[in-house]
Structure 1
Amino acid sequence: MTNENAPKRAESYSCEYCDYVCSKSYDWYRHVSTRKHKILTNTNKNASKRVKKYDCICGKTYKHASSLCNHRKKCKYDENNISINSTMNSTIDSTIDSTDKSKCMNSIVENEDISYKEMFLELMKKNSEITNIMIEQHKTIQTMVPNINKSKTTTNNTTNNNFNINIFLNEQCKDALNMTEFIESIQLSVEDLTNIGELGQTKGMSNILIDKLNSLDIFKRPIHCSDIKKETIYIKDQDKWSEDTGQKPKLKHALDEIVKKSMYAIPCITEDPDTIVKTMSEVLKDPREDKKIISRIVKGICL
């Protein structure tokens, strides 16, 4: 009675190659169709095939003649007080003819099944590859040399330009106004404000700054541009010259101050409501065309 009620023992499938066990035939068939199983079973089948071996007199065995050749260069085994490594090197490096070389090699590897033709072809192939690599490297170097010289020239020119502009600013322009002092000194005229309304924000605002700067001696100006294309601007503030990099925050701050001056000056200069509205709308135009204004200023003050 006990045997009848006992659960049936599941049939087990086992793969020794993959160390895999399962109880369902579906899983078993899925396993034997996997790439891993096929590789391992094929490997074991191929292992039974006879593989040609290359033996060294020191006892080590290799599957390839090239591997044996590489091993011989490092082998320290001593037979009859003759070093195999030194014998091989002296044989290869000697200038004897091909017949003598063959005899020397045969005496070293006597009774060994080695295909020296295969070894020679392998070495020739490696030498050819190395030669091709060296040729390509030489071509690459020849291509790079002019670029390196050009880069050095550009670097030297940039260094010289930076050195020259620093001398100009710190020596010749050491008495220049600070930007804050310059902005405070600006007195806006009716013409300045009218131009903002008629010419627009970009031309009107940039013309004010350019005209006021050009009215100063070049060595007294608080702003200089050394490169129009790169818009490289230097501004003096707190008695120190520095480059206004990135988004030109110092120059934008100066434009903000001119906007404030314009707003206060418009009602004092004219009572014409149309002029006031037109000018004020351009002054307060948002977003302000800072990029265009800065480009015009750079062109107007570049050294």
Structure 2
Amino acid sequence: MNSLNKKVLKVLKKREGEFYCNKCDYNSSSHSNYKKHVLTRKHILNASLNEKYSDYTCEFCNKTYKNRNGLWYHKKKCNVNNGGNEIVSDIDVIDVSSNDVVKHVSDDDNMYKEMFLSMVHENKEMRKTIHDLIPRIGDNNVTNMYQSTTTNHNHFNMNIFLNTQCKNALNLADFVQSLQLQVEDLENNAKYGFVEGMSKIFIRGLQALDVYKRPIHCSDGKRDTLYVKENDAWNREEDDYKNMKDAIVSIKRKNLQKMDDLINDNPDVPIDNNQEMQYLNILSNSIGSEENKDRDFNKIIKNVAKEVLVDKKNTL
């Protein structure tokens, strides 16, 4: 058997009433089912491939030989072929042209070809993505790359910002203690009122610090969501803003201590009625209204929050 142009023989061996195909290791008790089997694509491909790669087999008795000459000499003397044995009950001969087999093989080849082309396309897409990412990796370090990614996806992590970049910030109490107040701050209270005067003192102290050294940061300007560092730890300020209000009270006390300096600037000059009224006005605006205390404190906190609002897009 030289080529796919030759007829492919399918042998039916009767084994206890069954029809057996040794090419596919298939058996059936029904002759009609067996005939259907030998017309299947699987059988045709197995037969064509086995012809090319297997030993030379006698279609009458299934004996195998290593070369074609041996099989030819055997067939001349084969008892089954000469009617001496009844093992073979029937032989189906199917005419399979090379075009039929090639068509089946080509179908499989096309399927694998499509799979291969799909993989190549996906590979190109992945290489393009990597190519686009390379400049970004080259221009930024790992930290910047992470922060850029989180910012772009609107997933700025306030806790990471505070505990990494602001880990050396002052405690709020230490910040208040460090404030240097002047007599001018008292006069500003009389000029601008308690809320604006206290806000200016607080904000001036914050502006004098590096952003990452500040003890207060705001993550949400609409809700005045504040984070305060106290006792060497960052925590979100509660709704009552206790830490911030305590800080305002401490600044107010430091400011009032400057009243002695204001009065003692001219110790030899008698205090007239106008000057006395001026001092009382300064004192009143430096203390604030007890009746409007909560409202005034909340206004001061809102002013401070605007100053310390974190720029999530540009903060690195």
Q: TM-score, normalised by structure 2?
A: 0.43
Q: Per chain length, whose mean CA-contact separation is higher, i.e. which structure has more relative contact order (CA < 8 Å, sep 6+)?
A: 2
From the CA coordinates, give the structure whose radius of gyration is larger: 2
